[in-house]
Structure formats: C-alpha cells, structure tokens
C-alpha cells in the first residue's frame, strides 16, 4: 500500500515538474517572439530620440525620450520632425516643428509675433509665450536669423522651434536654412519619459 502511494506521489510530482517546465518553455518562447518584434520595429519603423536643449520648450523638455517613426507619406505643417543635417554650427540630431512644405510661402511678422503660410495666419498654441527669460523682454518671437519671407522649394521643409527666441532653425540660412526631406530621420509621435511628460505628439 505504501509503495503504491509513493509511486502515485512520484508520478504526480513528475507531472507537476513537466507542466512547470512546459509553462516556462512557452513563456520564454513568447518573450523571444516579443523581443524579436520590438527589434524589428525599431530597426525598420521607429527609433528612440533624446531631446537635447530647450528649442522645443514647452512642448518638449531637455532630456525627454521620444519615439520617432519613419515617414510614410507627406509631411504636414505642425509635424514634429527629427532632422540630421550637419552644418558648420549644427552637428547633432535636432528636433523641430514643420512650418511649411514644398511650394508654400512663409512670412514672419515679428511685429505681431505671427507666422503666415500662403497668406494664412498659423494658429500656434504650442509656442513658448509664458516662460520667457528677462532678455526676451516679454516678446515670444524676437527678430532672429536672416530669413523673413521665403518660398519653400519642392522636396524641402521650413522648420522652427516652439521656443522661438532660443532655436536655431530655418530662419538662419547660414546655420540650418531650408531642410531637404532627405535629412528627416522621422516624425516624433510620442513622448514616454519622464512619466510626468507622457503624451502623444500628433494633432
């Protein structure tokens, strides 16, 4: 009787061990599959970008971690793009907002802190209006750069930072100027770090 009980216990333990091993095996397979998908996504469709500097404040902060996706389709006014265009003054990857695309005309009205695209005033709730340092004298868009009006050629974009007085962008022909779309790495779609800054970046 005791031998039969021991045999039954051993069989039960063996079945339990087999079930536990199978569960671990299936969990590991699932984990490997998930990791493979994540690697493929970030290899071919998306990448992580760290914000450096304050040119996109208050939309983005220095140190924010973003997800940028490769662009399939046309860029539009308002898109936040990741650009890598090396110049004498800029060597690092930068993040800016698309103001105008190929064929559109940009006009900067510094007197009224207004941007016009094809004669239509842009509504820009994202620009830095409040946290202005003393040197800005309360003006969110001081005259900067050497371009105040330009028609963007096809295949290029005109970009600016949301922190207008502290952004080197397309207003500066000698520093960045118009950006060929080939220099655009991707479009920023989501900020997921730090936790307090989590948000989507698409309209």
| Cα–Cα nearest to 83, from 105, 123, 104, 55 | 55
Domain 72-187: CATH class, spelled out? mainly beta
Q: Could you tell me which residues are beta bridge partners of residue 68?
A: 47, 188
Query: Residue 17 pLDDT > 80, yes or no?
Result: no
Least confident of 31-35, 54-58, 96-100, 139-143: 31-35
Question: Band of the pLDDT at 76, cuts 50, 70, 90?
Answer: very high
Whole-number Å distance between alpha carbons of 105 and 61: 29
- Give residue limits of the domains in the chain: 1-44, 72-187
Q: Percent of the chain, pLDDT > 90? A: 57
Instruction: Quote the tokens at residue 91.
Output: 């060597």
Query: Residue 107 pLDDT > 80, yes or no?
Result: yes
pLDDT number for residue 36: 43
pLDDT number for residue 18: 60
Whole-number Å distance between alpha carbons of 41 and 200: 18
For residues 123-141, b (16+ Cβ closer than 10 Å) or e, as one string?
ebeebbeeebeeebeeebb
Catalytic residues: 55, 96
Question: Band of the pLDDT at 113, cuts 50, 70, 90?
Answer: very high
Least confident of 59-63, 159-163, 188-192, 199-203: 199-203
> What confidence tens digit (pLDDT) does each residue in 143-184 have?
999 999 999 999 999 999 999 999 999 999 999 999 999 999
| pTM to 2 decimal places | 0.77
């Amino acid at each position: 009787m005791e031998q039969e009980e021991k045999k039954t216990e051993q069989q039960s333990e063996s079945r339990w061990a087999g079930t536990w091993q199978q569960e671990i095996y299936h969990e590991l397979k699932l984990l490997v599959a998930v990791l493979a998908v994540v690697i493929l996504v970030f290899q071919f469709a998306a990448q992580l970008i760290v914000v450096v500097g304050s040119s996109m404040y208050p939309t983005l902060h220095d140190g924010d971690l973003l997800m940028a996706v490769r662009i399939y389709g046309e860029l539009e006014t308002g898109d936040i793009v990741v650009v890598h265009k090396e110049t004498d003054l800029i060597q690092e990857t930068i993040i800016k907002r698309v103001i105008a695309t190929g064929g559109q005309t940009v006009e900067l009205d510094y007197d009224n802190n207004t941007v016009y695209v094809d004669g239509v005033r842009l509504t820009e709730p994202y620009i830095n209006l409040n946290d202005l340092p003393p040197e800005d004298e309360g003006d969110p868009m001081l005259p900067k750069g050497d371009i105040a009006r330009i028609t963007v050629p096809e295949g290029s974009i005109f970009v600016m930072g949301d922190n207008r007085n502290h952004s080197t962008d397309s207003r500066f022909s000698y520093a960045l100027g118009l950006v060929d779309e080939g220099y655009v790495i991707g479009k920023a779609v989501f900020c997921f770090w730090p936790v307090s800054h989590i948000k989507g970046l698409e309209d």
